[in-house]
Amino acid sequence: MGKSFNFLISILLVLAAALIQSTDLINFYGVKPNLVLVMVAVFLFFTDNFWEYLVISLGGIAALKFVSAFEKESLVLFILLAAAYIFKKYLLHKSFIHILLLITFLTTLFYLLINFNFIILNPLIFILELVYNNFIGLAIYLSANFIYEKTKPQ
């Protein structure tokens, strides 16, 4: 399968994640993971093309945004995902440990920048979301890595 096919599949998966995130389908005792953050963080390890990563990131963020007003959360998410691409070179290699560290770091920074009081006032919910994000991220990473290894040219 070609790179353009993988890129198209990545965009469709992030759009599907945004759609699912906007519902209560994955609500687990009042905790919903940030699927777009998780998906884009995982895809970071499968692309070296900044422009593809940018389109995937913006597509996911745009799909989450149903109002025309400016939202601080969208800007913060975009900045965090762009910064993740820049700092990707400091992660030694593609491994599940790096995925978990990146998702934990991005989720924590997201809440610190959006509303740090949430972490203080709701530590259990924050920890549950971290665990939920990492669990989903690990499952996505393992699936994507399996598919990537099976479809890469020999």
Where do the domains of the chain lie?
Answer: 3-151
- CA–CA distances in Å: residue 138 to residues 48, 49, 133, 142: 20, 22, 8, 6
47: left (phi over 0), alpha (psi -120 to 50) or beta: beta
What average pLDDT is seen over the chain?
85
- The region of weakest confidence among 49-58, 88-97, 133-142 is 88-97
Pull the structure tokens for residue 2: 């070609």
Helices 35-43 and 50-64: angle between axes, nearest 10 degrees:
170
- Backbone φ, ψ for residue 107 (5° rounding): -65, -45
Q: Look at residue 1 and tell me whether its pLDDT is greater than 60.
A: no
**pLDDT given for residue 87 in this prediction:** 84
The pTM score is 0.86
29: left (phi over 0), alpha (psi -120 to 50) or beta: left
- Single out the residue of 40, 47, 43, 102 nearest to residue 77, CA to CA: 40
Pull the structure tokens for residue 126: 């924050």
CB 81 within 8 A of CB 41: yes
pLDDT in tens, 54-112: 988 888 888 887 655 568 888 898 899 999 888 887 776 667 888 899 999 999 999 99
Please tell me the distance from the alpha carbon of residue 47 to that of residue 53, in angstroms, as a whole number.
7
